[in-house]
Structure 1
């Protein structure tokens, strides 16, 4: 391996040391160790260091075909130390600014979607539901009013027909001969059944009229 390749290897490993330092700070910022369980932190640590080792190995493979020398580790440590002393504060500040920008951007678009899309749909659905309930209530009132008017008209028509017929029947009953009355009296049981049925019908009729607010018979 000539001097040029060694020089490129040193520079690349110094850069990878700085990269590992930045990646470690980023990893700690998003992981938040105190809030995680130990086994979760352990698995994340293994995954993180495996990925970093693979990245370093890939860069080393591209530079000097993965020839591992002692100065490679020295260059990695130098890059890591240079990052910690020179770039750590600047990087963490930039990282925090980027995170805050992304969070605020997300909050802004979430609020925008909620206020311009979700809330209007909810308000429209509530208005349509209220309108539907109002129309349903109005239809109920209209149908009840029509039903009451028709019922009262039918009741008045019934009374107009029943009173003359009852009066006529009463007169005809008086004109019936006494023998015919005695003959009819033999079937008093049948007439009692008719009277009972009439009482049941009148009781049912009065119950319906009471619910509708009409006078009882």
Structure 2
């Protein structure tokens, strides 16, 4: 392993130490903001360590084909110390700002969908119910008026055809229909 490869590996491990620290702060802030239940903390920690290990080994394979040396741990330690000394508060603030931006965008989109789609649909539904209710009331009103206007003619028709009734055999279904019509008329107009 040449000196150039060793310095490149130390630099890559320094960067991976910074990335591990940043991931730690990001996971910490997200778990605090999302108010995760206590039982999920081991799961989140496991995910963090899996991601950190994958990141370190990818960088190690890229820099020196995966050879593990003592200076690799030194580079990671320096990177982690550098991160927590100088960059941690900045990353935490940026993460909080990013969370606020995402929440603001989510609320804006939610409100936009509510104003543009949901409220008009509810308004159209209410307007339709009002119009249909009005039309139904008008139809019932007109139906009662028509029945009241036709009832005297029906009585006149029955009176005029009374002599013929003696000679006609009226089927039972027609008698039942007559009874239903009279019952319907009494129910509508007796209120």
Q: Please state which band the TM-score falls in when normalised by the shorter chain.
A: 0.7 to 0.9
- Corresponding pairs, count: 172
Q: Does 1:37 align with 2:20?
A: no
Match of 2:2 in 1: 2
Kindly name which structure, 1 or 2, has the bigger radius of gyration based on alpha carbons.
1
Instruction: Quote how far apart the aligned CAs of 1:158 are.
Output: 5.0
Instruction: Quote how far apart the aligned CAs of 1:74 are.
Output: 1.2
TM-score of the superposition, structure 2-length normalised? 0.79
Instruction: Quote how far apart the aligned CAs of 1:152 are.
Output: 2.7
Q: Does 1:101 align with 2:108?
A: no
Q: How does 1:137-156 map to 2 (within 5 A)?
A: 137-156=137-156
RMSD: 2.6
Match of 1:13 in 2: 13
CA distances 1:39-67 after superposition (whole Å, capped 9, x unpaired): x2212212220221111001101100111
Find the aligned partners of 1:68 and 1:98 in 2 and give their Cα distance. Answer: 36
Which secondary structure state, in structure 2, belongs to the residue aligned with residue 67 of structure 1? coil
Unaligned runs of 5+ in 1: 166-205
**Contact 2:18-2:83 at 8 Å conserved across structures:** yes
Instruction: Quote how far apart the aligned CAs of 1:105 are.
Output: 1.1
Which secondary structure state, in structure 1, belongs to the residue aligned with residue 4 of structure 2? helix
Find the aligned partners of 1:208 and 1:121 in 2 and give their Cα distance. Answer: 38
Instruction: Quote how far apart the aligned CAs of 1:23 are.
Output: 0.3
Q: How does 1:6-85 map to 2 (within 5 A)?
A: 6-32=6-32, 35-38=36-39, 40-85=40-85
Match of 2:178 in 1: none
Which secondary structure state, in structure 2, belongs to the residue aligned with residue 66 of structure 1? coil
Does the C-alpha gap of structure 1 residues 17 and 120 become closer, same or farther in structure 2, counting only changes over 3 Å?
same
Unaligned runs of 5+ in 2: 164-181
